[in-house]
Amino acid sequence: MPSLVTAPCWIDLSAYDLDAATNFYGSVFGWSYPPQHPDAGGWRAAMVGHEYAGGLSPRPEGVPVSMWTVFFGTSDIFAAVARATELGASAMMPPMPVVIDGVLMTTIALMVDPTGALFGLAQQGANPGLTHTGHGSALWFELASHDVESARTFYAALLNATVHAVSEVAPLDYATLRTDAGDFAGTMPVFPGSPDGVPSAWSVYFNVDDTDAAVAGAVAAGASLMMGPETMHTGRIAYLSDPEGAVFGLIRPASADWTFRP
């Protein structure tokens, strides 16, 4: 039986200064942005050619930080919200249809998992989801949790996934989530040395042609380098925060065959 909730199908940035955010990510990843529609409430689609790389939205009042949100796909968002709630999540925003120019693009909900990490659910309509591959595309997703075992149990049940420890990064407690389509996300504890108040959170790693060059470009555009670049068994990676503090990763994958498809 297909899983009710599937691997991530969309990513969205909440930013205070949306013009600055679009300029920043456009310079780093080559994204372009079609003209805004009045129905979109300021939301912008990030495109490479005719392919979708994600979206950017004005940061709602009450949201203290700018951040990337990872949306998991579903064929029935009401059932998915009910299932996530049954497993211990709480609903931050109930299912909301996104209609632009009379067309149902998607229906989304925002949830908080049992360890405090925000995530989204999306039942796609006319929006096809993440279709861009290559430089500037979402390639990997990672959860840092204050209770990583509980988080793994939750997402394994929600996604009908299995958990697989990664020995190559020992002694770090790192494990992937795996479905029939393969590994799509990593899970690990929040680093012990993290500042007080750092919540459990999902982050996105973007595929780049050259990690070092992308880091240099991002820093020149106002980002802060948090880790790397360094070479791992999966590729050359780095971790940064954008000019508003939203964190994201970069990876030049070790294998050219590694292309995420939701």
Q: What is the pLDDT of residues 8-30, one digit of tens each?
A: 999 999 999 999 999 999 999 99
Question: What's the whole-model pTM score?
Answer: 0.94
Domain boundary residue among 124, 150, 176?
A: 124
Last-in-domain residue among 74, 102, 124? 124
142 in the same domain as 120: no
Please answer whether residues 220 and 208 qualify as being in contact, where contact means their C-beta atoms are separated by less than 8 angstroms.
Answer: no
DSSP class of residue 60 equals P
Residue-wise pLDDT tens digits, 143-195 = 999 999 999 999 999 999 999 998 877 778 999 999 888 889 999 998 766 66
**Both tokens assigned to 38:** 């009045």
Q: What does the DSSP 8-state code read for residue 89? A: -
Assess whether 162 and 65 both reside in one domain. Answer: no
* Alpha helices by DSSP H, 65-159: 77-86, 148-159
- Structurally, the chain folds into a number of domains equal to 2
**Structural domain boundaries enclosing 170:** 138-253
Of 79, 135, 109, nearest to 12 by C-alpha is: 109
Other beta carbons within 10 Å of 132: 20
